[in-house]
Structure 1
Amino acid sequence: MSERQTDARQGNKAAKRALTALMLFVLTGLFIYSASSEQSYLWLKALHVIAIISWMAGLLYLPRLFIYHFDAPKGSEQAQTFSVMERRLINVIMRPAMAVSWILGLYLAWSVYGFHGGWLHAKLAAVVCLTGANEYLGIASRSFARGAYPRSPSFWRAFNEIPTVLMIVIVILVIVKPF
């Protein structure tokens, strides 16, 4: 008989793998930092984009999980499975990816642009909004885990558009630099 993926032991294994990946990510970043400045910039930018993709994947997927969670009767095994999935997504993928995105993004903004440029300030404001959305999802996840199903499926469908719109704004600001 196979082990259930919702068992604490499986969660601990997943957390250890995520921590190992994060440590490798940090060590790679430090190695890259010690490389030539032009090469290190490109590698750090690549790592920044990888972290953003991971974070965005979670921001787009978690509201969908909430919608499916609504179909599970409170306290059921299915509801418990969704709670485990939501908690792991937030704690093992989204928050570490968000932290790496912020650290590398702030470093790149400082080292390349000196925190100057209207587009950069607008981008940072949009990233602050993404961070707020991330933390709101974390609060909602804890509510679902307690059996309190916050809001409605239609709310989560609409909420799912917030990270999408912010991502579009951020990409346009970074690529076009309109001001």
Structure 2
Amino acid sequence: MYLWIKALHIISLVCWFAGLFYLPRLFVYHAASEDTASKERFCIMERKLYRGIMGPSMIATLVFGLWLLWLSPGFMSQAWMHAKLTFVVLLIGYHHMCGAQVKRFARGENTRSHVFYRWFNEVPVLFLLAIVILVVVKPF
């Protein structure tokens, strides 16, 4: 049972990160677009990605992760797990920042340039590196 839940946790994590990588890239293109049809198309794509893929994937990742912790409570006494969970909480915050930006674009209230979103797009890479290294290497 444990390995099935772990596999589902990893699958949902991959889906979540796919959205976390792609949505800010859509923001880059959206911020650079100038015609109304493109802006409307990006709004639809961003909304569907955030609500249809990213939200459910995040929830599944958290549910399966908590289930794994429940099955192996000894991990909670290890420092690497505390660090990992800190990064997960920060990643959830990033996810919600993306959601707030989806709403700003939908209202036509974006004030940031495509250059900002190019840098914003790199943030989930840092989270992924930190979380994977903590889980695999368990440095402390």
> Would you say same fold, with TM above 0.5?
yes
Q: Note if contact 1:69-1:79 (Cα within 8 Å) is conserved in structure 2.
A: yes
2:113 corresponds in structure 1 to 152
1:134-165: CA deviation from partner (whole Å, max 9, x where unpaired): 00000001100111123221111111111100
1:105 corresponds in structure 2 to 65
Task: Give the gaps of 5 or more residues in structure 1.
Answer: 1-39
**2:27 counterpart of 1:84:** no
1:117 corresponds in structure 2 to 78
> Which of residues 47, 66, 70 in structure 1 aligns to 2:27?
66
Rg larger for? 1
What is the one-letter code of the residue matched to 2:50?
Answer: I
What is the one-letter code of the residue matched to 2:17?
Answer: M
1:173 corresponds in structure 2 to 134
Higher relative contact order (CA 8 A, sep 6+): 2
| In 2: Cα distance, 1:148 partner to 1:174 partner | 39
| In 2: Cα distance, 1:149 partner to 1:103 partner | 33
What is the one-letter code of the residue matched to 1:56?
Answer: F
Q: Note if contact 2:50-2:99 (Cα within 8 Å) is conserved in structure 1.
A: yes
**2:84 counterpart of 1:128:** no
Q: Give the share of equivalent positions with the same residue, in percent.
A: 47
What is the one-letter code of the residue matched to 2:81?
Answer: L
1:104-131: CA deviation from partner (whole Å, max 9, x where unpaired): 1111123213422100010000011111
Q: Note if contact 1:130-1:163 (Cα within 8 Å) is conserved in structure 2.
A: yes
Q: Note if contact 1:140-1:150 (Cα within 8 Å) is conserved in structure 2.
A: no
> Which of residues 37, 42, 47 in structure 1 aligns to 2:8?
47
Task: Note the C-alpha offset of 1:41.
Answer: 0.5
1:70-123: CA deviation from partner (whole Å, max 9, x where unpaired): 22226x111111000000000000010000101111111232134221000100
What is the one-letter code of the residue matched to 1:109?
Answer: L
| In 2: Cα distance, 1:72 partner to 1:160 partner | 17
Task: Give the gaps of 5 or more residues in structure 2.
Answer: none
Q: Note if contact 1:144-1:150 (Cα within 8 Å) is conserved in structure 2.
A: no
1:12-59: CA deviation from partner (whole Å, max 9, x where unpaired): xxxxxxxxxxxxxxxxxxxxxxxxxxxx11111000000000000000
> Which structure is higher in helix share?
2
Q: Please report the TM-score for the alignment, with normalisation by the length of structure 2.
A: 0.95
CA RMSD, 1 decimal? 1.1
